[in-house]
Amino acid sequence: MHRNRADHPPTRHGRLIGAGATIAALAIAGSALGAMPAYAAEPDFGPNVTIFDDTWTADQISAALMAASTEAEFSLNRHQFFFKPGTYGSAAGQDNPATATGIVNSELGYYQAVAGLGASPEDVRINGAIHVEPVRQCEANPWDCQQPGSLTRFWRSMSNLTFNPIQRPVGVDASRPFPSGITNAHQMRFAVSQAAPLRRINIEGDLTLMGRVGEYASGGYLANSKVSGEILSGSQQQWFTRDSTVGTWNGGVWNMVFSGVDGAPATDFGPLPGGGNGNKTNIGDTPINREAPFLYLDGDDYKVFVPKAKQDTSGHDWSTDASAGESIDIDDFYIAHEGATAAQLNAALAAGKHLLITPGVYSLDAPLEVDNAGTVVLGLGYASLVPTAGNAAIEVGDVAGVKIAGLTIDAGEVLSDVLLQVGPDGASASDAADPTTLSDVFIRVGGPWAGKATTSIEVNSPDTLLDHIWAWRADHGEGVGWTSNVGDHGVVVNGDDVTALGLFVEHYQKNQVIWNGERGRTVFFQSETPYDPPTQGAYMDGTRLGYAAYRVGDQVRHHLAQGVGVYSFFDAQYNQSQNIYVESGVQVPQRPGVRIESAVSVMLNGTGGINHIVNDQGDAAHAPGGGISKFLAVYETAVDPNAQSLQVTVPEGAPGEFVWSIDGTNDIVDLGTAVENGDHFAASGSINPVRVTDTRRSAAPWSVSAQVGDFDSPVASFSGKYLGWAPKVTEAGGGAAAGEAVQSGFIGGNGLADSSTLGHAPSGHERGSAKLGADLDLRIPVAATDGTYRATLTITGLG
């Protein structure tokens, strides 16, 4: 049966300032914003935020953390824990965890976020461990039960902390015959799956991402962190590590992706010389990134640091000076407590405030309207937004530089068209240097109740950055069924120049991702097909079997996706053991400029499977019993099979005719390397000259014009409007005159993207021949992606 919030009264814990003191939450009433509070050194973060300082003992800290770690998977309680700068726990027993005392030691549970309040992770040092252990099914012999293990260890996080790892079993686990929580000395366990990020974490030792006996785990996310020792991924099916520093890496199953990671292993994806398949993809630099905003203490003052976006990055970077980002005073934020209404939050946004949304579940009868450029919306402790009237939870206006982080959005029971919309339809405002960014944004359609949403995230704004997204149509929990928790698409990208770093999208009923924008790029994608189609007929994309999980629009000319995993599990309990197939996990237009690297199809279990990896390439992943994986290192094509090659021969002009031709050779016009000049790059050169001959007796007027297409490179493009020219007659004759100069579109107008006259002659001109030329002026915005670009200048003669 359906259970609503009244059936789950939330447990409330006071916000702990000292070892037992609490501050009650202030009630919020009315729809008007009213006077903003003047915050003291300790703002009111509400009852679900706990702040540790040096008045707490290690045992008290462990007890508080452990008490909050036992929430049920779909609980409506939320918890945020902060550590003020300092050292917590004793290092005395670090070499023998079995006998160590005085350490901070707790498991980390659902809807529990733990973070340091220092400007650097090194400002908070924890001697001990805050760890995640798998679900146990077989107490006496855990080797007999590898699942669920860590397959459902979702919705928990840690950030901005340094660990000297000293881990011991705790709670119920400590009394088991074979405890899960035992690790080697100087090792901490974080055996999680989706929506469980580690950010700005400094581990002075080893990190294991799997259970003690190798229980299954389904992927996670590590960013801007340093692990001095070994990372043992082991049974992790997939994992994304970004802009970090690691000692060594060990293990993994299908899709391990490293982007900008110092110390990462080399790429070995696909068939190996000695047999089997490699699973690692190493991308040297992250093309663009912006770290998530975070709360910290500047002396006694609370601030939010908002890192700047950076390009081509690698390694960890914990700097918080002005060159690295912006510090925003806490009194520039409206601090929302559970119970705040959409009207109150929108009044704060309209007044120019940023939002700090404290832990809780927020019912919204209207979307949050984020219409001011640069607005920060930061959630704490897995704060959850729930639309109640078929509305979106958040709608971002046609503005740039918005940052949304740390939020969960649950679809309501009334169907929403979209849950989070980044820019209205046709949005054009963007700033490549300050992209609108979504960090650690998690969507659920079903789970707590029968949620419904056609599209979970729609991105219309150009230059948007998606940094760790999990969009999940629930495969278990409340209200789960083919006609109950309905959802077509997880992510739809319509804007150009959008980048996704760590994109997890699962179980939607049609294409899980649709990418219509140009020059999109995804680094790491993980997806499972829906478990519950009742028949193949219910799961057809027209005449095509099933729906590709990752679908690039047919009109797209440039796209790059790296580290792409699509898994199938068509559960026999829903389809009465009928085979259900997906024609291909990834579907893209077959043309130069569209490239997929490191793609894998996996049949996890169930019936049917996946016929191809990308389009018609890659072996089938289906067989009785499941556990079948197929790998494709690269998909690309040099020829568009739907294009037609054209050729024409222009004969030498006979007397009494009008002809034109390239004078001399038609070599590529190389403008060289552009030179940075303030707010743009500049390059110049000259076209190959054009010879025009007109010997017609009628002396009719003629003109020669030209138009340039976009400049393309293998990974990006920019408009031909940025090219301008100054035509000239280099050899006079036949009454020829030069066309008007056209300035680069960087200055104004459309440059040579519009047809422009190179030369012409009026009616009645003398017979003869002339040579036309033009000096080229290319001015490109400094935000253009580096690379070697080519364009086609099409010349047309009319006479």
Please give the Cα distance from 593 to 51 (Å, whole number). Answer: 51
Residue appearing with tokens 């965890």: 97
* Sheet strands side by side (includes 325-329): 294-298, 301-307, 325-329
Please give the Cα distance from 406 to 382 (Å, whole number). Answer: 6
SS3 of residue 369 by DSSP? strand
Cis peptide before 592 (omega within 30 of 0): no
Q: Tell me 174's DSSP state.
A: G
Beta-carbon contacts of 61 under 8 Å, excluding residues fewer than 6 positions away, are 52, 88, 89, 104, 106
Specify the pairing of strand 489-493 against strand 453-459. Answer: parallel
Please give the Cα distance from 604 to 624 (Å, whole number). Answer: 10
Tokens representing 360? 């809780």
Please give the Cα distance from 50 to 71 (Å, whole number). Answer: 16
Beta-carbon contacts of 732 under 8 Å, excluding residues fewer than 6 positions away, are 770
Please give the Cα distance from 477 to 75 (Å, whole number). Answer: 11
SS3 of residue 573 by DSSP? helix
Residue appearing with tokens 């493009």: 717
E strands in 463-519 = 465-473, 489-493, 499-506, 513-515
- Contact between 487 and 511 under an 8 Å Cβ cutoff? The reply is no
Which of the residues 528, 583, 597, 766 is marked catalytic? 528
What does each C-alpha distance from 302 to 28, 36, 114, 333, 446 come to in angstroms?
22, 16, 17, 11, 36
Closest CA to 104 of 158, 159, 163: 163
**Which residues on adjacent β-strands are paired with residue 635?**
596
Tokens representing 561? 């996706």
Q: Exposed e or buried b for every residue in 627-651, given b needs 16+ CB within 10 A?
A: ebbbbbbebbbeeeeeeeeeeeeee
The secondary structure element, H or E, covering residue 66 is: helix 58-68
Residue 395 annotated as catalytic: no
Residue appearing with tokens 């070892």: 19
SS3 of residue 68 by DSSP? helix
- Contact between 709 and 794 under an 8 Å Cβ cutoff? The reply is yes
What are the backbone dihedrals phi and psi of residue 174, each rounded to the nearest 5 degrees, phi first? -65, -25
Residue appearing with tokens 């991924």: 233
Tokens representing 125? 């040092």
SS3 of residue 196 by DSSP? coil
Beta-carbon contacts of 584 under 8 Å, excluding residues fewer than 6 positions away, are 548, 610, 611, 612, 613, 614, 615, 616, 618
Q: Exposed e or buried b for every residue in 293-324, given b needs 16+ CB within 10 A?
A: bbbbbeeeebbbbbbebbeebbebbbebeeeb
As a residue count, the chain comes to: 799
What does each C-alpha distance from 692 to 404, 653, 660, 699 come to in angstroms?
59, 10, 4, 14
Closest CA to 105 of 153, 54, 168, 157: 168
Q: Tell me 269's DSSP state.
A: B
What are the backbone dihedrals phi and psi of residue 145, each rounded to the nearest 5 degrees, phi first? -130, 90
697 alpha-carbon distance from chain centroid: 66
E strands in 695-731 = 702-708, 711-712, 717-718, 723-731
Helices assigned H by DSSP within 291-404: 342-350
Catalytic center residues: 528
